[in-house]
Amino acid sequence: MTRKEKVAFVMKELDQLYPEIPIPLDHTDPYTLLIAVLLSAQSTDVRVNKITPLLFKQANTPHEMIKLSVEEIREIIKPVGLSPMKSKGIHGLSHILINKHGGKVPQSFESLEALPAVGHKTASVVMSQAFGVPAFPVDTHIHRLMYRWGFTNGKNVVQTERDAKRLFPKERWNDLHLQIIWYGREYCPARGWNIEKDHITRMIGRKSVINKLLKGK
């Protein structure tokens, strides 16, 4: 298969597997999505989805959030990890949203990335999932699968994002990044990977990666 044929194959397979694409993090609006994505850094969506209902019961708007102290936020979010940094980030960005953006989440990468504790990936998730702006947030699953499929050299997530945006049609980015995440979790995990269940990698995957896996068995 040519590179172009491989890309078409991946999109077709993912569409068949995931015609309906759930968003992994529970949220009700752009603000709660922003907070959930911030909390998910170096944590799991499952863990975050257990904690956000407790936090949002106390505060689900910037105005309510700043009424809590950093310490109170930290106590609630402790199970997701990195709570000292994340609690300061949540409190700080809530103040900035009120002071600079009328209490609303801004709809631009530049404004989002200027907020404390918000990096490019978090901004990309919010732009894509809250506002429908084409973006390709690269998480650990996408980075791993793009390398295993031979679509990137695996150097870093910046390169992986660049390659994904170059290979896949822009109108597909928002769906595709979620489909790849679900596929990675279900069929192509970092640990306990069974190539027999992973139809896409078996068909188009990087030979060196597949051979290494088979040798290790």
The catalytic site residues sit at 121, 139
The sign one gets for the Cα dihedral 187, 190, 196, 199 is positive
Separation of CA 17 from chain center: 19
Instruction: Determine whether 124 is exposed, middle or buried from the number of CB atoms within 10 Å of its CB (0-12, 13-18, 19+).
Output: buried
Contact (CB, 8 A) for 125 and 176: no
> What contacts 53, CB < 8 A, 6 or more positions away?
26
Distance CA 20, CA 75 (A): 36
Q: Is 153 exposed, middle or buried (0-12, 13-18, 19+ CB in 10 A)?
A: exposed
